A and B are shown apart, each in its own frame.
Chain A
Amino acid sequence: MRAARLAPVLLVLPSALLVLVFVYGFIAWTGWLSLSSANDLLLGAARFAGLDNYARLAGHPRFRIDLENTVTFGLTFIPGCLILGLGGAILIDHVVRFEGMWRTVCLMPLALSFIVTGVVWRWLMNPSSGLNLMLEGLGLGALRSGWYTDPAVGIKAVALAAVWQLSGYTMALYLAGLRAIPRELYEAAQVDGAGTGQTFWRITLPLLAPVTLSAVIVLGHISLKIFDLVIAMTGPQGGPAFSSDVPANFMFQTTFQANRFADGAAVSIVLLVIVSSLVIPYLYWSLRREVRG
């Protein structure tokens, strides 16, 4: 009997140990590094440095720019994905012919890596070619832009490429959400004389609220972690004057190029804390819903 009760634990033990060490153990280790003086010394000789690294980080101009860029990225990328995703999902939901084909096209970039997307969009956003050439051809020359080469655009150009790559994700979420709304609700609204707009604002959007919440959390945490796309589009320095630099890239360079481990660890912990404050309530909410559900 005891063996029978022990067996399930033994089966998950290898995975549980791996995750405990590689996730929680390593986070604790990084946390210790962020409080140590491992910037200039060999790691073994590090001593406790209190919050020195964090204090230096708070005053670091590049890190400040990075945090601002993250906010700008999120404010461009998240609404972009939500609007395009919902719009596309509604269109596809209404369609009678070739639904699968439309969906395949819109979700296709999801199968690509950020690196591929970055390489292609870097070429597309070349200031003397690509998008600018197309805008001129369409008589929209006024919209020409320096894209990622213009510090005033910088990270927003990266966000546009990210919308291209990931809006299919919100589209898939919204499509599933739309399919789950009972048809009778729309029929009842029609009987009551509600117009298309009213139906959208009063029925569709409120019922999609949980989907929107999930999407915002997931897209938000992607915004905080974005790295590959920035590197591939604008290079290791994050564009001119750090205009497309992000915390993940700062961490990468500080740690693995400059060997300032404690500083890099401090950046990581700041990132982790921000991501956690977004994700932990969400996970709690999802698991609760599952239990009740």
Chain B
Amino acid sequence: MKRATLYLALALLAAFYLTPVYVLVATSLKEFREVSLEAMWRPPTALTFDAFKRAWAGDPRGGMRGLGPNFLNSIYLVVPSVLLSVFLGSVNGYVLAQWPFRGSELLFALLLFGMFIPYQSVLIPLVRVLQALGLYGTLPGLILTHVVYGLPITTLLFRGYYASIPRALVESAQMDGAGILGIYRRVILPLSAPTTVVAVIWQFTQIWNEFLFGVVITNKPTVQPITVALNNMAGSFIVEWNVQMAGALLAALPTLVVYVVMGRYFVRGLLAGSIKG
């Protein structure tokens, strides 16, 4: 293939992916009076962060809720959910890879299937159980949900990685008298950094971006994660386009930054999971 054709084709491809990003960023930096249907493609004449301020703080007098509190909700949601699901996934992966028992393969298959199910098929009982536990409508309820349904992917990631750790390493530690937990602490954990990074980034992105559980479990605007709040904001007609785009950018920023800085690990999670959208 000719170099010039190649780069031209690539430039077109890149334009396809970047065009919506241009509109997103350009619109969010515009003043309200600069936003109009005819002027969508025009770059902003003067950069202003007013739209971001409005998207974050809202406009209490105009009856518009800001996304700031929901951004914080998402952080409170993501941090414990990621830590717990990654830790449990690591323990499961370790056992399934290095200490297989009768039925452990079946258990793994059952776990894996949990990653593919349409979550609609568990939603009604989930709501009932969370209500019974007093966790419906709360962040802890949403955290529990994300931890449980995150177990398949984190277990899969760690199991695959731990299976590549030579048996000899585990056996020599056993010879030295270490038990199953001792080996985990002294042999496995120190080797876990690469997969932990992959799992943390993957879970962070998935949970930050998740919508269905959020909208079903958190019914109050004060508890909702940012994806749910953004969807509400975008669904109301009183909110200007530049504020909507600023809100979308706020919601996208954390995962986008992580992706740009740690893209390699993100792609590894994507390929290993081969799974979620």
Nearest-neighbour CB distance to chain A for B128, whole angstroms, equals 7
Q: Are B121 and A272 in touch, CB under 8 angstroms?
A: yes
Of B43-51, B75-83, B192-200, B260-268, the one with at least 4 CB within 8 A of chain A: B260-268
Does A225 belong to the interface (CB within 8 Å)? yes
> Contact residues of A with B, CB < 8 Å?
4-5, 7-9, 11-12, 14-16, 18-20, 22-27, 29-30, 33, 43, 84, 87-88, 91-92, 94-95, 102-124, 126, 128-130, 133-134, 137, 164, 166, 168-169, 172-173, 176, 196, 214, 218-219, 221-222, 224-225, 227-228, 231-232, 235-236, 248, 251-252, 255-256, 261, 264-265, 267-269, 271-272, 275-276, 279-280, 283, 287
Q: Mark B238-270, 1 if CB is under 8 A from A, else 0.
A: 000100110110011001101110010011001
Q: With A120-B245, A126-B40, A225-B120 given, name 4 new contacts (CB 8 A).
A: A19-B111, A30-B121, A224-B118, A225-B119
Q: List 27 A-B contacts (CB under 8 A).
A: A4-B179, A12-B91, A12-B104, A16-B107, A18-B151, A19-B152, A23-B110, A29-B124, A87-B9, A87-B13, A108-B17, A112-B256, A113-B210, A113-B227, A114-B209, A116-B209, A120-B248, A130-B23, A133-B38, A169-B270, A172-B270, A172-B271, A235-B235, A271-B120, A272-B118, A283-B116, A287-B109
Q: Are A248 and B120 in touch, CB under 8 angstroms?
A: yes
Report the separation of the CA atoms of residues A84 and B118 in the bound assembly, to the nearest whole angstrom: 26
Nearest-neighbour CB distance to chain A for B44, whole angstroms, equals 15
- 7 closest pairs, A vs B, by CB? A113-B209, A111-B259, A8-B99, A26-B122, A129-B37, A26-B125, A268-B120
Shortest Cβ distance from B235 into A: residue: A235
A residues within 8 A CB of B113?
A: 23, 276, 279-280, 283
Q: Mark B99-136, 1 if CB is under 8 A from A, else 0.
A: 11100110101111110111111111110110000000
With A107-B263, A119-B234 as contacts: A227 and B212 at CB distance below 8 Å? yes
With A12-B91, A19-B148 as contacts: A119 and B41 at CB distance below 8 Å? no
Interface magnitude class on chain B: 35 or more
Q: Are A251 and B120 in touch, CB under 8 angstroms?
A: yes
A residues within 8 A CB of B271?
A: 172-173, 176
Report the separation of the CA atoms of residues A167 and B17 in the bound assembly, to the nearest whole angstrom: 10
Does B203 belong to the interface (CB within 8 Å)? no
In-complex Cβ contact of B151 among A4, A15, A196 (8 A): A15
Does B188 belong to the interface (CB within 8 Å)? no
Report the separation of the CA atoms of residues A113 and B111 in the bound assembly, to the nearest whole angstrom: 25
With A16-B107, A19-B151, A27-B121 as contacts: A95 and B209 at CB distance below 8 Å? no
Shortest Cβ distance from A269 into B: residue: B121
Q: Are A104 and B116 in touch, CB under 8 angstroms?
A: no
Q: Are B277 and A133 in touch, CB under 8 angstroms?
A: no
Report the separation of the CA atoms of residues A23 and B183 in the bound assembly, to the nearest whole angstrom: 31
Q: Are A105 and B18 in touch, CB under 8 angstroms?
A: yes
With A26-B126, A106-B17, A218-B274 as contacts: A268 and B251 at CB distance below 8 Å? no
Q: Are B252 and A116 in touch, CB under 8 angstroms?
A: yes
Shortest Cβ distance from B107 into A: residue: A16
Nearest-neighbour CB distance to chain B for A39, whole angstroms, equals 12
Report the separation of the CA atoms of residues A145 and B205 in the bound assembly, to the nearest whole angstrom: 33
Nearest-neighbour CB distance to chain A for B27, whole angstroms, equals 7
With A111-B205, A252-B120 as contacts: A228 and B230 at CB distance below 8 Å? no
Report the separation of the CA atoms of residues A268 and B216 in the bound assembly, to the nearest whole angstrom: 15
Nearest-neighbour CB distance to chain A for B177, whole angstroms, equals 12
Q: Are A112 and B124 in touch, CB under 8 angstroms?
A: no
With A271-B121, A275-B116, A283-B112 as contacts: A110 and B274 at CB distance below 8 Å? no
Q: Are B270 and A106 in touch, CB under 8 angstroms?
A: no
A residues within 8 A CB of B263?
A: 103-104, 107
Q: Are B37 and A15 in touch, CB under 8 angstroms?
A: no
Nearest-neighbour CB distance to chain A for B84, whole angstroms, equals 11
With A26-B126, A105-B17, A111-B205 as contacts: A275 and B117 at CB distance below 8 Å? yes
A residues within 8 A CB of B267?
A: 103, 107, 172
Does B96 belong to the interface (CB within 8 Å)? yes
Report the separation of the CA atoms of residues A6 and B230 in the bound assembly, to the nearest whole angstrom: 48
Q: Are B252 and A91 in touch, CB under 8 angstroms?
A: no
With A4-B179, A111-B266, A272-B117 as contacts: A14 and B110 at CB distance below 8 Å? no
In-complex Cβ contact of B116 among A109, A214, A279 (8 A): A279
Q: Are A268 and B121 in touch, CB under 8 angstroms?
A: yes
